[in-house]
Amino acid sequence: MTAKNPILEIEQSYGQSIWMDNLSRTLIQSGELKRLIEERGIVGITSNPTIFEKAIVGNAIYDADIEAGIREGKSVQEIYESLVFDDIRNACDILKPVYDSSNGLDGYVSIEVPPVIANDTEKTIEEARRYFNQIGRKT
């Protein structure tokens, strides 16, 4: 007997897409993200600065890229964005089959702009466009 998958049951019964609220390089490189998508029915990912802080702090998988950014004279913000944008690009690539098979309904990775600009609509839009262009993925 095959074990029931509550995530797929929710999608099939209610048409609700289930997104995961977690992203890390470990999840990507270990193949766990791909497995969750293929076997558990995850169809999108949300991310934010707190999620990435938990992923990066104390995790040696990021150390080489952090050290490279320091050697290149990048600011802390530039290093952070390079780590985060790389992870998002890779997650988008893994989710691309979901995006394609759903005709763009699912298969996305979200990222928050800095909360300090939340009350500045124009700056928020500008930053969201910059993120979109820097990441370079539709999904």
User: For the chain, which residues make up each domain, given as ranges?
Assistant: 18-135
Q: For residue 80, how many C-alpha atoms fall within 13 Å in the half-sphere facing its CB?
A: 14
Quickly tell me which residue has 């005709």 as its tokens.
103
Burial 60-73 (b: 16+ CB within 10 A, else e): eebeeebeebeeee
pTM over 0.85: yes
pLDDT at 1 over 50: no
CB-CB neighbours of 113 under 10 Å: 18
**Average pLDDT over every residue of 67-83:** 97
Mean of per-residue pLDDT scores for the chain: 92
- pLDDT of 80-100, one tens digit each? 999 999 999 999 999 999 999
